Amino acid sequence: MVLLAIALAVVIWGVMRYNGLVAVKNDVQRAWSNIDVLLKQRHDEIPKLVETCRQYKQFEQETLVKVAEARSRVGAAREARDVAALGPAEAALRTSLAGLFAVVERYPDLKANQQFMQLQTRISGLENTIADRREYYNDVVNVNNIMVEQFPDAFIARMFNFKEAQLLHFDAAETADVDMRKLFAA
């Protein structure tokens, strides 16, 4: 009877640990999906912004090309679910968008364009939400990775092939202070 109680306790403990690992794995997937949805929304808004700017014939074509290329790299990383490539691609896109918004200062008509202002506000809002979701994603990945590595959960993780997830890293240029003079001198 005692052995049966011990065996039952071990089974219950194992099921609880397994379910905990499943929950955390699904949290990581949900966090990534939330980022993916926001990246897709921003991906859809950027062509509208570029087209609005393109309507002003004298607007710098090079700036628009940089935004389009950076958007393409983020889209490719997102589609491939390549977390390692997403950080640098995101940095390039944010830099090119900042450059675009800085260049707009030279075009009062564009700056006053209602559609441009709405798109700029929408994209800026998406940027802030993406930053929040990235932080949440990394928090959930950290919990997952600790559970996969930590004793005694590591036994169950290995037995059922739970894997570590990849943190979303950003390069030093993205985390450095922004030189506002440089942006507005462009």
- Give the model's pLDDT for residue 184: 44
CATH value of 2-185 in 3.30.365.10, 1.20.1270.30, 3.30.390.30, 1.20.1440.20: 1.20.1440.20
Domain assignments of the chain as residue spans, ordered by start: 2-185
Cα–Cα distance list, 166 to 83, 85, 141, 162, 172 (Å): 7, 11, 7, 13, 18
pLDDT digits (tens, 9 = 90+) for 71-108: 999 999 888 888 888 888 888 888 888 888 888 877 77
pLDDT band at 29, cuts 50/70/90?
Answer: very high
Whether the per-residue pLDDT at 178 is higher than 50: the answer is no
User: Given the structure tokens 């997403």, which residue do they identify?
Assistant: 86
pLDDT band at 33, cuts 50/70/90?
Answer: very high
